[in-house]
Structure 1
Amino acid sequence: MAPDELADPLAFLTEAEVEIEGRMPWSSNATFLTTLRCDGPDGAIEQQAIYKPVRGERPLWDFEPGLHKRERAMFLLSEHLGLGLVPPTVIRDGPLGEGSLQWFVPADHSEHYFTIYETRGHLHDRLREMAVLDIIANNTDRKSGHCLLQPGADDDPSLDRVWAIDNGLCFAAPYKVRTVIWEFAGDTIDDDVLARAATLLDDVPAEIAELLDDDEVVAMQHRATKLVTERALPAEDGDYHHYPWPLV
């Protein structure tokens, strides 16, 4: 099920019963696949979601505990910018305590950023927008595998969607973007995207700001200001770019 098939996917994520199906492999923090169930007007609704409880986080030297708040803040920022790149995400109590709960995307896991970039040119604009989102959010961990492809219905490429997941390592105050999305460095940013980014310069929505420290909010505004002023994606230091590890 796609999020837009429900009138209010956030309410569903917040109110549905949560059953843990199992732990997701290869995750550095405890990450669980869950099934959500809730009665709807036309019968029972069932949907999978990704659950990341706070108690399952490994200590980090550069981020305080509570990465679930950053997952939620990234969703809210994507929505505020009108990008729709992050699956619906809420904070709620679950079977293992408070954490983030994110809509599960039925993606083609043989695809990731590098394959999407090479073979699906019609999605390049969306990838540029993901780069904008990651710069404003100061994403330190945009691996290739954190960019999911949801193929269009009936194999229609025009209905393909790209999603940005695993967004917990974002919004630090010091600038330290680490991403695989550098092919668009120096590209001019779309005017509509710049206009939406400009709304952050004077005021960050309260529902985002309350999830972050004050200095992180100010730093986000500085990054947005730089993008709006320069009107192009940063090229970093000459030919040197900052990449996460592993790349995929």
Structure 2
Amino acid sequence: MSAPERIPPRGVTPHGEAAELLTEGELTVRGRIREASNAALFCTVAHDGREASCIYKPVAGERPLWDFPEGTLAEREVATYELSEATGWGLVPPTVLRDGPYGEGMCQLWIDPVPDGELLALVDGEEPEPGWKAIGFAEVGDGRTALLVHADDERLRRLAVLDAVINNADRKGGHLLPAAGDRLYGIDHGVTFNVENKLRTLLWGWAGEPLTPDAVEVLKGLKEALGDTGALGARLAELITGAELKATRARIEALLTSGRHPEPSGEWPPIPWPPV
């Protein structure tokens, strides 16, 4: 018997094929990722001679949050993937909602990160060097502070736009995965799509700057896709509440109206803790 075919990340195999495998395949738990705040299980999924590694987060393992409806984090992860695919940027690994060994949950293609230079750094001085964007100052011990910066990278900039649309409340450095083919993925999107402004991210370096023409065109496409007759709107309506969908449309409209990356509101801590 030949060995099963493994499914690599996007760029080698279409996302649709990986999503089909995640949905239809037999899920086998191999271990638990203990660093995760909610139950996160490392698995393999196999179907029709193909196999891939994946992460499975059962709804039953979600910790209740005061500001999100209970048992909805998996659906928010899937909604983020669906919206990311609509941008054409492919910033989120294939993610589906399915039944598994511990009930319904989110199942996402596992991404093996590759060395890709530094995306985040702590540096001395008051201003970032060329090629970097300032986030803010951080304590580094012994009463010292350093400037926290992120790379002035187009992939990160696109992710910053996506985060603004989905109202991501937890964009940490550890949620950034450089992958083969010069790709960058964002993961862990359970705390998204809240009606209230909860944007917390490390990617504030473009705050207040004009959106790129590419981002504007993508936002226009999302606005249409989330309209009353848009397929994306119908799909998200199955995953988030009507009020959350309405708020998503409003965030897109606000971005198009301002033409700029959002700035911290001052109503919510702008940077997640811990930041990495």
TM-score range normalised by the length of the shorter chain: 0.7 to 0.9
Distance 1:120 1:132 in 2: 15
Q: 1:28 to 1:126 in 2, by over 3 A?
A: same
Shift of 1:110: 9.6
Q: Alignment partner of 2:153: what SS?
A: helix
Match of 2:125 in 1: none
Match of 2:128 in 1: none
Shift of 1:193: 2.1
Deviations 1:62-111 (A, max 9, x none): 11122110000000111111110000000000111100100100014897
| TM-score normalised over the length of structure 2 | 0.78
Distance 1:94 1:6 in 2: 24
* Structure (1 or 2) with the larger CA radius of gyration: 2
| TM-score normalised over the length of structure 1 | 0.87
Distance 1:211 1:176 in 2: 19
The aligned amino acid for 1:15 is E
The aligned amino acid for 1:139 is N
1:224 aligns with 2:229: no
The aligned amino acid for 1:247 is P
The aligned amino acid for 1:190 is T
Match of 1:68 in 2: 74
Asked if 1 retains the 8 angstrom alpha-carbon contact of 2:9 and 2:93, the reply is: no
Deviations 1:174-202 (A, max 9, x none): 11101111112122222232122123435
1:245 aligns with 2:273: yes
* Correspondences of 1:168-183 after superposition (within 5 Å): 168-183=190-205
1:194 aligns with 2:216: yes
Q: Which has the higher strand share?
A: 2
Q: Alignment partner of 1:5: what SS?
A: coil
Distance 1:131 1:99 in 2: 26
Deviations 1:104-142 (A, max 9, x none): 000148977415x85995x71111110000001000011
Q: 1:109 to 1:4 in 2, by over 3 A?
A: closer
Q: Alignment partner of 2:46: what SS?
A: strand
Distance 2:56 2:106 in 1: 6
Q: Which has the higher helix share?
A: 1
Match of 1:92 in 2: 98
CA RMSD after TM alignment: 2.4
Asked if 2 retains the 8 angstrom alpha-carbon contact of 1:112 and 1:146, the reply is: no
Asked if 2 retains the 8 angstrom alpha-carbon contact of 1:194 and 1:231, the reply is: yes
The aligned amino acid for 1:207 is R
The aligned amino acid for 2:78 is R
Distance 1:111 1:88 in 2: 24
Q: 1:113 to 1:120 in 2, by over 3 A?
A: closer
Distance 2:13 2:184 in 1: 19
1:49 aligns with 2:78: no
One of 120, 123, 127 as aligned partner of 1:114: 120
1:6 aligns with 2:6: no
Asked if 2 retains the 8 angstrom alpha-carbon contact of 1:111 and 1:149, the reply is: no
Match of 2:162 in 1: 133
| Identity within the alignment, % | 39
Q: Alignment partner of 2:155: what SS?
A: helix
One of 94, 104, 107 as aligned partner of 1:101: 107
